[in-house]
Amino acid sequence: MRALVRPPSDAYARCLRTDASRAIDVAKARAQHAAYCEALRACGLEVVALAPEPDLPDACFVEDTAVVVGPRAVITRPGAPSRRGETASVERALAATHEIRRVERGLVDGGDVLVVGRVAYVGLSARTDETGARELGRALEMEVRTVPVGRALHLKSIVTRLARLAGALAIGGGIETDEPAGANVLDIGRYAVVSAAAPRTAERLRTLGVEVHVVDVGEFHAGDAGLTCLSVIL
């Protein structure tokens, strides 16, 4: 397995976020991103890094630009117009190894897409709409079930899954966490990467037999993001 990532550029200080009063430390974000990549390697992944995008503040959040299922990679149409320039380099990176399809109408961010088996749960959020969800289902040739997200930025801001628990953490079931950062964990087979902001979640997953790697991604939480946002798992 591989992980496609992109380190933050200096422009990351100007990323889209709900609390723009909180300054982002780009140097610290780069160090946290490097530690994140090391955690991915510790989980057995080959890390493929794209070049930083100096003119695209949110480009480190590569998850939003593509949904990859098996040999097929669907290039999304991000809900924020300022982010649509991020998809071209991701498409080029995936084209050599995947069948490329595109969402041509509507809006869809990869952070709103949770694939469980042959079903794609798609969050309806400020960044993803019904038309985009239908287009994604067509491109993936999968059943799509839409989920209202409410005030959260993305579906995966509030729910993720762990294969290690045999599908227990899916829509309509699983375990709950009282730590906001604990709702977003990165599933890598028998491993999970968990934010340092969710220590109780990490410990609970360990008691369930999950091998946990904890990473500090506070500068990315400041950009309204979580662990899954920073990679596309191939």
Please pick, among 15, 43, 60, 229, the residue that the annotation labels catalytic.
229
pLDDT at site 189: 86
pLDDT at site 176: 86
- The second-level CATH assignment, the architecture, of 2-233 is 5-stranded Propeller (3.75)
60 is annotated as an active-site residue: no
Please pick, among 33, 98, 154, 221, the residue that the annotation labels catalytic.
154
- pLDDT tens digit at each of 234 positions of the chain: 999 999 999 999 999 999 988 899 999 999 999 999 999 999 999 999 999 999 999 999 999 999 999 999 999 999 999 999 999 999 999 999 999 999 999 999 999 999 988 999 999 999 999 999 999 999 999 999 999 999 999 999 999 988 766 554 444 567 788 999 999 999 998 899 999 999 999 999 999 889 999 999 999 999 999 999 999 999
pLDDT at site 166: 52
pLDDT tens per residue across span 161-197: 887 665 544 445 677 889 999 999 999 988 999 999 9
Give pTM, 2 decimals: 0.94
pLDDT at site 161: 85
- For the chain, what is the HEC assignment? CEEEECCCCHHHHHCCCCCCCCCCCHHHHHHHHHHHHHHHHHCCCEEEECCCCCCCCCCCCHHHHEEEECCEEEECECCCHHHHHHHHHHHHHHHCCCEEEECCCCCECHHHEEEECCEEEEEECCCCCHHHHHHHHHHHCCEEEEEECCCCCCHHHCCCCCHHHCCCCCCCCCCCCCCHHHHCCEEECCEEEEECCCHHHHHHHHHCCCEEEEECCHHHHCCCCCCHHHCEEC
154 is annotated as an active-site residue: yes
